[in-house]
Chain A
Amino acid sequence: MASLDIYDLNVYSVPEGKNTVEEMAALAKRFGYAGIAITNPHDSCKPEKASVSKGLEILSGVELRVDNASRLHGLVGKYRSMVDIIVVRGGSENINRAAVENPNVDILTSFGSTKDSGFNHVLARSANENDVSISFDLAEFIGQRGGRRVRALSNFRKDLELVRKYDVPFILTANARCLYDMRAPRELIALAGLFGMNREEALSGICTNPQRIISKNRHSSKYVFDGVEILDPSMDVVLDEGDGQ
């Protein structure tokens, strides 16, 4: 597992969290992460700039917290070109729906349970079509005990069924607000096992899917727009010679 690039795409720093980006990065590095995305809420501060610090990739991100679906689309448009990762904090049916129907959204988090009109088969299908990942926020049961943890685990179990059936992309995160909230990758896999996620699925949630999200949003210098990119200039030379003969 040491060779895999593991990411946590939903980490907070000051002012939303308690520790600075450098402190979070140092611990993430020690835990064996390849990168973290700092996703402070859009109304608290400017998004963190992407950088590489001591071998750990820090991605710029933002978490959108809105109570109005039409405002969400405006904010997504505004932040899309500024940050690598856009996370939407859901909760109500409208916001959840708006988030999974917007292909520019990367991750939907805190979408609530199936019972109180949170995540369901309609949203799952839409999330699959628009390639919006849903987030299994393990912090929802790490610090909890008793009834709340039981509910969180059983909700995740149901969500996982939908994820499997509709092939919804997903990520795992510890959603750390401070150093002591962070968990190492293997611990995340073990925690995900509590609600029935197997090792391969968990690995895709911390490794392959985050990587895919990042590469989707970070275009190479040859990118023009979707489906069009500049090919190697040496190919032109070959073509020109062919025309001359």
Chain B
Amino acid sequence: MKVLPPTMRENKRYLAFELIAEGNISRDDLIREIFSASGSLLGDLGSSECNIWLFAFDNLKGIISCEREHVSQTRAALATISYVKGKRVSFHILGVSGTVLGATKKYLEGADISNPEEQSHINE
């Protein structure tokens, strides 16, 4: 198969994120919730334009890819997620990049997951 010429490729943005969550979240549950949230907020039409895709997810951090012109809708859809399979969660987008490598290097490597309940006790 011929490779698609670069000008015809989709223009994507990669959103590095962390989940502030009550417990561990499985990848499958998260995917289900992301699609359900974007389906509910943006509808089938909006979701197809955004083209949200969970690119990678491990240990409450990951990368979501979406269409370049629809980063703001994607953010909004993710921000409406407050439960994943009965557990409370909150999405925190760490940054947006044009490449997976950029998103990983800039926003994910070395950054530790936030656990505010633990953090607040450190200095007490």
What residues make up the interface of A, taking CB atoms closer than 8 Å to B?
19-20, 22-27, 30-31, 54, 141-143, 145-146, 149, 178-184, 186-191, 193-194
By beta carbon, the residue of chain B nearest A25 is B120
Report if A26-B40 is in contact (Cβ < 8 Å); known contacts: A180-B88, A187-B79.
Answer: no
CB pair A180 B89 closer than 8 Å: yes
Instruction: State which of A19, A26, A27, A187 has its C-beta within 8 Å of the C-beta of B75.
Output: A187
CB pair A142 B80 closer than 8 Å: yes
A83 to B123, CA, bound (A): 26
A189 to B93, CA, bound (A): 13
Bitwise, B47-70 to A at CB < 8 A (1) or not (0) is 000000000000000000000000
Q: Is B35 an interface residue (CB 8 A)?
A: no
Residues of A within 8 A of B121 (CB): 22
CB pair B82 A184 closer than 8 Å: no
By beta carbon, the residue of chain A nearest B114 is A30
Residues of B within 8 A of A30 (CB): 92, 114, 116
CB pair A179 B116 closer than 8 Å: yes
A99 to B20, CA, bound (A): 36
Q: Is B72 an interface residue (CB 8 A)?
A: yes
In the complex, given contacts A54-B123, A182-B20, A191-B80, what are 4 additional A-B residue pairs having Cβ atoms less than 8 angstroms apart? A141-B80, A142-B82, A179-B90, A187-B92
A20 to B76, CA, bound (A): 27
Residues of B within 8 A of A190 (CB): 72-73, 75-76, 79
7 tightest A-B CB contacts, nearest first: A190-B75, A180-B88, A22-B120, A187-B79, A27-B116, A26-B116, A190-B76
CB pair A145 B90 closer than 8 Å: no
A194 to B78, CA, bound (A): 13
A23 to B118, CA, bound (A): 8
Residues of A within 8 A of B78 (CB): 187
